Structure 1
């Protein structure tokens, strides 16, 4: 079982899941892996459209099957340090964020999801642990399919089952 790298935190709007990882890659490499079609495709899905035209769409891909696309709206972008965005799909609106920093040759990744009242953090948290690990494996040039869903869920569900006090 992988060790958890995330937690549930209080936020100004309620609760959020935060996954934190440290890696040796540069900020631009990480930024590209999380924000470009070429970077996202190996580990999570397909990004289509154009930000300037306001028609960004994202589809997760699992076992070669592309999910129904979600619309993607960028709320804040300060490349290569901060991205806040919302996806709207059949599952509702998800408010997500990415924060990158670098110090002494080590880059820090903070991946964030603001939780809605009906969101189940015990399934969402392990999911983001899984996908962030896939992103890191992709950056390393290794096989993302070596990261197994069953190692993350339900094994890490308890980590996200209780809110902070």
Structure 2
């Protein structure tokens, strides 16, 4: 595989700084929505969740990072199938003060092609340098999973080593 290209872009909105990525799928919007919301489909490229979304939260578990079995609590702030999903994550940080990340997912279909726009808030440069390559990696895994490609051929080390400088420059001034 050739060296992957970073695709995240800085965007300031609602008093927050976000990193925004886009991917296109030759698939109907309902199919792409299923790929990002159904536990079995998510498990092919990133992780899975448990709980009842009707309660307004689920527990999300990454499957490819060796995370502990407890996962992260995701609060569902807004859900408009199959177009919009807004989530706030709560991750233990220092045992007392959880870290909260805002995740935004929007889908739009035109002529059978669905565009996924994904964003995460990045309050500081250190976070941008880590989540930038991480989301490029996972979104490329999603593309592979949904297009019949090899998810296993996408190696995180190819992303982290080649993209850190790009994200450092893209989010300069946040430190």
Q: Normalising by structure 2, what TM-score?
A: 0.85
Is the 1:20–1:110 contact (alpha carbons within 8 Å) kept by the matching residues of 2? yes
Residue 59 of structure 1 deviates from its aligned partner by 0.8
Give the number of the structure whose residues are more often helix, by fraction.
Answer: 2
SS in 2 for 1:133: helix
- Provide the aligned C-alpha RMSD in A: 2.0
Check if 1:100 corresponds to 2:100. no
Q: How does 1:67-78 map to 2 (within 5 A)?
A: 67=68, 68-78=70-80
Question: In terms of mean alpha carbon deviation, does 5-14 or 129-138 score higher?
Answer: 5-14
Give the number of the structure whose residues are more often strand, by fraction.
Answer: 1
Structure 2: distance between partners of 1:85 and 1:55: 9
Q: Name which of 21, 28, 31 aligns with 2:30.
A: 28
Q: Name which of 145, 151, 161 aligns with 1:138.
A: 145
Is the 2:125–2:172 contact (alpha carbons within 8 Å) kept by the matching residues of 1? no
Is the 1:137–1:143 contact (alpha carbons within 8 Å) kept by the matching residues of 2? yes
Unpaired runs of 5+ residues, structure 1, are: none
Q: How does 1:42-57 map to 2 (within 5 A)?
A: 42-57=44-59
Query: How many pairs were matched up?
Result: 164
Is the 1:8–1:160 contact (alpha carbons within 8 Å) kept by the matching residues of 2? no
SS in 1 for 2:41: helix
Q: How does 1:1-165 map to 2 (within 5 A)?
A: 1-62=3-64, 65-67=66-68, 68-91=70-93, 92-117=99-124, 120-162=127-169, 163=171
Is the 1:9–1:164 contact (alpha carbons within 8 Å) kept by the matching residues of 2? no
Structure 2: distance between partners of 1:55 and 1:15: 24
Residue 32 of structure 1 deviates from its aligned partner by 0.8
Residue 123 of structure 1 deviates from its aligned partner by 1.4
Structure 2: distance between partners of 1:93 and 1:69: 14
Unpaired runs of 5+ residues, structure 2, are: 94-98
Structure 2: distance between partners of 1:164 and 1:107: 31
